[in-house]
């Protein structure tokens, strides 16, 4: 995780930090990010989750065509409280 939002002060994650478990036979896993409502006036902050390459899995490609090696996928969430 990266970005301006802070784990524990601006949001929480379910499960084990830095990991997502994909059960045997499944094609995906999930992580739930929950914003912490603290009633403190702040500018918008972001939390960015970037998937890292590893052994035993591949990042999906679209259209069934071979693609050049690409960057790891990421998701960005803006937290406004």
What distance separates the 2 farthest-apart alpha carbons in the chain?
Answer: 48
> How high is the pLDDT of residue 71?
55
> pTM (2 decimals)?
0.62
pLDDT for the residue 66: 46
Q: Which pLDDT score, from 0 to 100, does residue 68 have?
A: 47
CB-based burial label for 31 (10 Å; 0-12, 13-18, 19+):
middle
Question: Are 1 and 16 a contacting pair, CB within 8 Å?
Answer: no
Question: Which pair of tokens denotes residue 1?
Answer: 């995780």
Q: What is the pLDDT along the chain (81 residues), one digit of tens a residue?
A: 888 888 999 888 887 777 887 788 887 778 888 888 888 888 888 888 887 777 777 776 655 554 444 455 555 555 555
The C-alpha R_g of the chain, in whole angstroms, comes to 15
Please provide the size of the chain in residues.
Answer: 81
pLDDT of residue 56: 72
């Amino acid at each position: 995780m990266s970005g301006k939002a802070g784990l524990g002060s601006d949001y929480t994650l379910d499960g084990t930090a830095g990991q997502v478990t994909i059960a045997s036979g499944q094609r995906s896993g999930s992580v739930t990010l929950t914003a912490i409502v603290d009633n403190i006036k702040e500018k918008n902050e972001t939390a960015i989750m970037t998937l890292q390459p590893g052994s035993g899995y591949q990042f999906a490609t679209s259209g069934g065509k071979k693609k050049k090696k690409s960057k790891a996928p990421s998701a960005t969430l803006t937290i406004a409280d």
